[in-house]
Structure 1
Amino acid sequence: MAKAPGFVSLKEILTTFKISRRTAFNWLKTINQQLQAQKLDQVVNIPRYGYKLTDRTKKSLTQKIAKVSSPQMGHETILNAHERQTEIILLLLDQEHYLSINQLAKMFHCSRNTIIKDFKALKRHFPALKIGSSRLGHRIISDENSIRLTVYELLLRQDKLVYAFINRLNYSFSQAKELVIKAQQQLHMSFSENSLQQLTYLLLFTKWRITHNQTIDRSENWQWIAQNTKDVLPTCTKLLGKLGGNKELKGEIVFLSKIFLCSQATEVDCINKNLYHDINNIAQEIIFRYEQLTEQQISYRVFTKTLCNHLYATFFRVKFGIPFSSSEVDEIKWQYPVLIKFTAIACAPLEHYLQKKLPSEEVALICLYFGSVNNREYREFTESDKLKRALLAEVLVVCSSGIGTSAMLYHELSKTYPLIKFSLPLEIRDLAKIFQHNYQAKLIISTTILPKGKYPIPAVKVKAVLTKHDQTIIDSFLRQEVPRKLEHNASAVNSLVSIINEYADVKDEKGLRLSLDKFIFPGLQKNNKADLPTLSNLLPAKHIKVLRKKDQLKWQTVLKWGCNLLEQDEIIDQFYFEKIVQLINRYGPYMLIANNIFLAHAAPSNSNKKVGLSLILLDQPLEICSRGESAWVTCMFVLSPGKEKEHEKALEQLVDIVRNQENINRLLKAKSPQEVRQFLLSFY
């Protein structure tokens, strides 16, 4: 309320802190008691408007209002639902006896219902963490492996409460960090700065648990790690010994080995040759599939290597069942939903190799790599080039989250502020080099917290995937430092149109404005998908053929029928069929976009007259064999992509439908082209 410009409704309070009405009223009562004790005006409550602090009270408060005691943080603060739930986990870890709901409600000054909801939320968010309950209260009953993974997940989320908890254990952070650095050198790995920090804190927590005789016994992956990696087990054995643990604790050694392998790194050279070649081939297959879906050329050396390094961590996380968590994943899913859909289809080779489906969080991370390639400036720069560019930049970009997020952050900043010179993503250690030379930068945009006062220019902390809040903060700083470069398009365009009108007879002023706007601010131009053809436009009933009770057909025959439906309307020519056949013969049946759903297509060429789509629906699965691989198909779509990506919206709609197995089952039951079309269009 101290920061709110007007009234705050009861609903906003309940939503923000995820508390019950009773808890909210208890908090307000406590707030008023504390304000009264400080001789300040109490909270104003006006029915139908909400709650508000008087200006006098706002001016008098220099810290957060309504401070309630927090048992773990060591000082008084107000906790939101997420923080309260983290505190409950830490309390249960730090105490051997039971904790009752009444005790927790009293500690957090909230109702029993709020604590009960917190326990339900913990069960949803951390399913592996088992919390037992009895008449005595609650306590953690999980094995030590699950406890360790829960803390690791909180560290991945950069949870400040967990960092504070581990800091209070009074172990040396610098010594633990040195152990991680030496281990990565021995393993020929190069961790991102975030990974380095997370591993260090996990080591400190591990030391605390081992000291209290809480050790991991599970070591079932020992043999697999020994056979498929180099020096990982010996390195982690030595590290555990230096940490003060027993070198014979095989479960602890295996756990540390898994976490090291799962951590994000820019260089990885500790796996055997067979696994290295397999992952490298999978990375190339994923890139190829993505290119075929999006008609975007991205297969260059640096990108392939970068994606490959990321896939090592993805592979190990999925194989070992170690969940990835990040505060930015939800933002990625919200900002790039279409990109994630295409990435999920492209990642099929990795899922096939693992014999497991990739979690949505992993797909979201991989999609960042594809999103980052839109800006070609980021491709082939050496370290020397990066430094030279940084010295000329107006804004320095510092990212410690990994290569994919670094590239995406740079791309988003360049697109949003096309007139401002940004450095390529830097690491924290690069800043010292830059400020030793003549630099032009006026601001640092960083995804990690930088020490206050250490650098001669201000720094802004943002997420790697920019939120609206982040952009507001950046705008505020840039308007102070480079206001002329943040002027809206209309200002510059209006001036130019006025000048041109003085010397020429402009017949189409609107068209002139659009052209000038596109020329001056190319980074701000976005594809207007509202104007793109939909699935309804591209798939009329005459482009659908339902085959029932046919003898076993060859896939070439079915493909030819699908092409003929498009050829009859002069959407493609007779050579388009041959182009698709050549691709299948060369790369195998890679065009599966879902179970039994085949999207036959080739890149735009002279054989594509215009964008179009056809469908052959079969009542019996059809086998496509090529290059030693086979796929069973019951729906074969034939797509003629547009030269300007006119097919994107229809493809997005199609993917939404067929990625759901229930929808596929319903589609296969259709008895006529009209029924197929009616079903597909019922979604939009």
Structure 2
Amino acid sequence: MGNMIVDIDITDNDIQESTVNVLSAVTDFTQRYGIGIKSEILFFSELILCSQADAVNYVTESFKDKILDVAQDIVNRYASISGIKIQSPKFVIALSNHLYASYFRSKFNFDFNSEALSDVVHKFPEMVKFVQLSCSPLAKLFSKPISINEIALISLYFISYDDLSDNISHVLDRNDNIRDSLQSEVLLVCTSGVSSSAILYSNLHKQYPLITFSKSLSIDELNKILRIPNTAKLIITTSPLNTKNIDLPVVQVKAMMDSEDHVKVENQLRYYFPQLFINREKTLDNLISIIQRNAQIKNISNLRKDLDNYLYPTKDTVKRDKNKHNLMDLLNRSSIKIIDNLMNGTDLNPIIKELSEELEKKNIVTSGYCDDILSLIDKYGPYMLLSSDTFLAHAAPSKHTRKMEIEIGILKRPIKISVNNIEEKIKCVIVLVPGFHHEHDKALTQLINIITNRRLYDQILSETDTDKMYKLIKNSVQ
């Protein structure tokens, strides 16, 4: 239309220092359309780098290695904070691909905005806090704080891995993904096949258990499936698709589906799977009648109840919230110790042992719990940092854990430890005994809020009376 970008505050070097082929490819493209203005080319290059490109080799090998290390570090830190181990190397690779765009958006002050991100922050506050804390290596790379929108975007990857009630991490396993999806009735698609379509899976397959949903599919995988005989009747996607070459009906929704999205999806499912939406009571009657013809039923009322729960599951969010414990449920006055660590030198292990022994005396854990913690530190290194001066020590709940609790040790003398070749001075060591179903998440989030409130936390650390420390913590939670 004749309008051109004539002024831009980035240079060739800003783009070329960590990328390959981007400027030359954009230059070739724009020149095809008679555009040769340098500022237009730079702006277009910036726009591409700030978008999430999938499977495009556009960064230098050294930068790729650096981001991959950061992604792995984030995953390790997230595991130490949340207690959820992510074993898939492809998850780390997919996350690193996302972090390219995060890096360039930060570098060029290009903020990602979406109403859906507010939903992520609102619906998963604990998750967002854990991810925010885990992303400190990324913040160091940026040399500035990471925006809450970027944290919410990154959180989508971890949310898809964190549905503990259903253990849906398998939907992110790319092995035989196309082959397995050929038998699916509904295909779930997002740009990379990692985050948002996995969230769709976690929600939809619970709500409609008799419909076969695919694993998380990338757009590229979808295109391959559509060229092979398959059983799909519908596509649900979080990304815009070119529907010209797609014979199946397509429903585009947000990863965090709102009421409008739910209506769109249910209308399509009612049309293509009408047998699942017959009158609820009639459906149960028909199923019980079929079962009675082929088996002897000892308790019809229990069978009916179980079938009803299976066919029409509901999420009891109120009950789930009640199961989340506050920080003060896990902490009492005797849980805070001032440790004179003169004899321990710079070794963290004796302090963890001392705090674990206190938990043993209270019959919270057995001696094996401390061994579990030290084994994790030996295997993964000291990733368990809540801040540069606070170390969180915990292991997964097991036969060594009996009840949830938090034990806090305030050190009279800071201990120096090395994390990724960076020296940190630890002033506080916390031993957490987690719940089997993440009942501790709310308490841990409240603890993180205290630690990240530096004015309050410095006041707590400077106190010499544990009763006063306890009161400061208790007042901040209330």
2:22 paired residue among 232, 243, 247: 232
Deviation per CA, 1:452-478: give whole Å up to 9, x if none: 998666543322321122113322333
- The letter of the residue matching 1:223 is N
Instruction: Decide which of 469, 473, 479 is 2:260's aligned counterpart.
Output: 469
Residue 681, structure 1, aligned to residue 474, structure 2: yes
Contact map agreement 1:372 1:408 (CA 8 A) in 2: yes
Q: Structure 1: which 5+ runs fail to align? A: 1-168, 170-207
Match of 1:590 among 375, 383, 399: 383
Number of paired residues? 465
Mapped pair 1:540 → 2:326? no
* Cα deviation code 1:357-413 (max 9, x no counterpart): 211111111111112235213422446426623xx41x3434448742233233332
Q: Does the Cα contact within 8 Å between 2:192 and 2:217 map onto a contact in 1?
A: no
2:327 is matched by which residue type in structure 1? L
Deviations, residues 44-83 of structure 1 (Å, cap 9, x unaligned)? xxxxxxxxxxxxxxxxxxxxxxxxxxxxxxxxxxxxxxxx
Task: Name the aligned partner's letter for residue 157 of structure 2.
Answer: Y
Give the direction of change, closer, same or farther, for the CA distance of 1:311–1:372 in structure 2 (3 Å limit).
same
Alignment of 1:474-493 (within 5 A): 474-486=265-277
Larger mean Cα displacement after TM superposition, 442-451 or 626-635: 442-451
Q: Write the distance in 2 (CA, Å) between the matches of 1:493 and 1:645.
A: 34
Q: Specify whether residues 231 and 417 from structure 1 end up closer, same or farther in structure 2 by C-alpha distance, changes over 3 A only.
A: same
Higher Cα Rg: structure 1 or 2? 1
Using a 3 Å threshold, how does the CA distance of structure 1 residues 522 and 381 change in structure 2: closer, same or farther? farther
SS at match of 1:297: coil
* Range with bigger deviation, 606-615 or 534-543: 606-615
Shift of 1:674: 2.9
Distance 1:452 1:314, change over 3 A: closer
Q: State the Cα deviation string for residues 491-511 of structure 1 (Å, max 9, x = none).
A: 8779989999x95479xx88x
Aligned to 1:141: none
2:194–2:218: 8 Å Cα contact kept in structure 1?
no
Whichever residue aligns with residue 565 of structure 1, its letter is: E
- Once the two structures are aligned, what percentage of the paired residues are identical? 31
Code of the aligned partner of 1:468: S
Matched, 1:380 2:180: no
Deviation string 1:225-246 (CA, Å, 9 cap, x unpaired) is 3343222232233334334233
Q: Which aligned pairs between 1:85-100 and structure 2 lie closer than 5 A?
A: none
The CA distance in 2 between the partners of 1:570 and 1:371, in whole Å, is: 33
Shift of 1:615: 0.7
Q: Is residue 200–residue 255 contact of structure 2 (8 Å, CA) maintained in 1? A: yes
Q: Does 1:417 align with 2:211?
A: no
What corresponds to 2:164 in structure 1? none
Cα distance, 1:586 vs structure 2: 4.7
Is the Cα–Cα contact under 8 Å of residues 339 and 411 in structure 2 kept in the other structure? yes
Pick closer, same or farther for the CA change 1:497–1:365 going to 2, 3 Å. same
Corresponding residue SS for 2:426: strand
Task: State how 1:22-101 maps to structure 2 within 5 Å.
Answer: none
- Contact map agreement 2:54 2:97 (CA 8 A) in 1: yes
Paired with 1:584 and 1:623, the residues of 2 have a C-alpha distance of 15
Q: Superposition pairs for residues 362-373 of structure 1, below 5 Å?
A: 362-373=150-161
| 2:46 is the counterpart of 1:258 | yes
User: Which has the higher mean CA deviation after the structures are superposed, 444-453 or 572-581?
Assistant: 444-453
The equivalent position to 1:298 in structure 2, one of 74, 86, 100, is 86
2:410 to 614, 617, 641: 617
2:326 and 2:281 map into 1 onto residues whose CA distance is 32
Instruction: Report 1:338-357 matches (<5 A).
Output: 338-357=126-145
Give the stretch that moved more between structures: 593-602 or 523-532: 523-532
Give the Cα–Cα distance (whole angstroms) in 2 for the partners of residues 604 and 435 of structure 1: 44
d(CA) in 1 for partners of 2:193, 2:51: 10
3-state SS of the aligned residue for 2:107?
A: helix
* 2:430 alignment partner AA: F
- Alpha-carbon deviation of 1:543? 1.3
Structure 2 segments unaligned to the other structure (5+ residues) = 162-166
Q: In the alignment, residue 15 of structure 2 is paired with which amino acid?
A: I
Match among 282, 303, 312 for residue 70 of structure 2: 282
Match of 2:120 in 1: 332
3-state SS, counterpart of residue 213 of structure 2: coil
Mapped partners of 1:679, 1:483: distance in 2:
58
- Distance change in 2, residues 1:384/1:598 (3 Å): closer
Which residues in structure 2 correspond to 1:100-499 (within 5 Å)? 169=1, 208-210=2-4, 214-220=5-11, 222-246=12-36, 249=38, 251-373=39-161, 374-375=167-168, 376-382=170-176, 384-385=178-179, 388-389=182-183, 392-393=184-185, 395-400=186-191, 403-425=194-216, 440-447=231-238, 458-486=249-277
* Equivalent in the alignment of 1:637: 430
**Deviation for aligned residue 1:323:** 1.5
What is the alpha-carbon distance in structure 2 between the residues aligned to residue 331 and residue 439 of structure 1? 34
Supply the distance in 2 between the matched residues of 1:494 and 1:680 (Cα, whole angstroms): 56
Q: Within 5 Å, which residues of 2 pair with 1:520-559?
A: 528-546=320-338, 554=346, 555-559=348-352
CA 1:291–1:321 in 2, change beyond 3 Å: closer, same or farther? same
Flag the structure with more relative contact order, 1 or 2, with Cα contacts below 8 A and sequence separation at least 6. 2
Distance 1:242 1:626, change over 3 A: closer
Is the contact between residue 265 and residue 402 of structure 1 (CA under 8 Å) also seen in structure 2?
no
Shift of 1:524: 5.6
Q: Go from structure 1 to structure 2 and tell me whether the alpha carbon gap of 1:432 and 1:353 turns closer, same or farther (over 3 Å shift).
A: closer
SS at match of 1:228: coil
Deviations 1:128-175 (A, max 9, x none): xxxxxxxxxxxxxxxxxxxxxxxxxxxxxxxxxxxxxxxxx4xxxxxx
* Residue type of the alignment partner of 2:336: I
Determine whether 1:560 maps to 2:350. Answer: no
Letter in 2 for 1:445: I
With over 3 angstroms needed to count, the CA separation of the structure-2 counterparts of 1:423 and 1:586, relative to structure 1, is closer
Alignment partners' CA distance in 1, 2:242 and 2:375: 58
Q: CA deviation at 1:583?
A: 3.7
The match for 1:120 is none
Report deviation, 1:451. Answer: 7.9
Question: What one-letter code is carried by the residue in structure 1 that aligns with 2:27?
Answer: T
**d(CA) in 2 for partners of 1:383 and 1:544?**
49
- Change over 3 Å in CA distance of 1:419–1:594 after alignment to 2: farther
Alpha-carbon deviation of 1:667? 2.8
SS of match in other structure, 1:616: strand
TM-score by length of 1: 0.59
TM-score normalised by L of structure 2: 0.81
Q: CA 1:626/1:669 → structure 2, altered by over 3 Å: closer, same or farther?
A: closer
Q: SS of the residue aligned with 1:267?
A: coil
Partners of 2:445 and 2:279 lie apart in 1 by: 32
For the 8 Å contact 1:593–1:599, the answer to whether it is kept is yes
2-side partners of 1:540 and 1:265: how far apart?
50
Q: Which amino acid aligns with 1:379?
A: D
Query: Residue 288 of structure 1 contacts residue 299 of structure 1 at CA under 8 Å; is this kept in 2?
Result: no
Q: Using a 3 Å threshold, how does the CA distance of structure 1 residues 663 and 291 change in structure 2: closer, same or farther?
A: same
**CA 1:576–1:624: 2 relative to 1, 3 Å:** farther
**Quick one: distance in 2 between partners of 1:610 and 1:586?**
25
Judge conservation of contact 2:337–2:466 (CA < 8 Å) in 1: yes
Hey, what's the Cα distance between the residues in 2 that align with 1:454 and 1:588?
50
Q: State the one-letter code of the partner of 1:421.
A: T
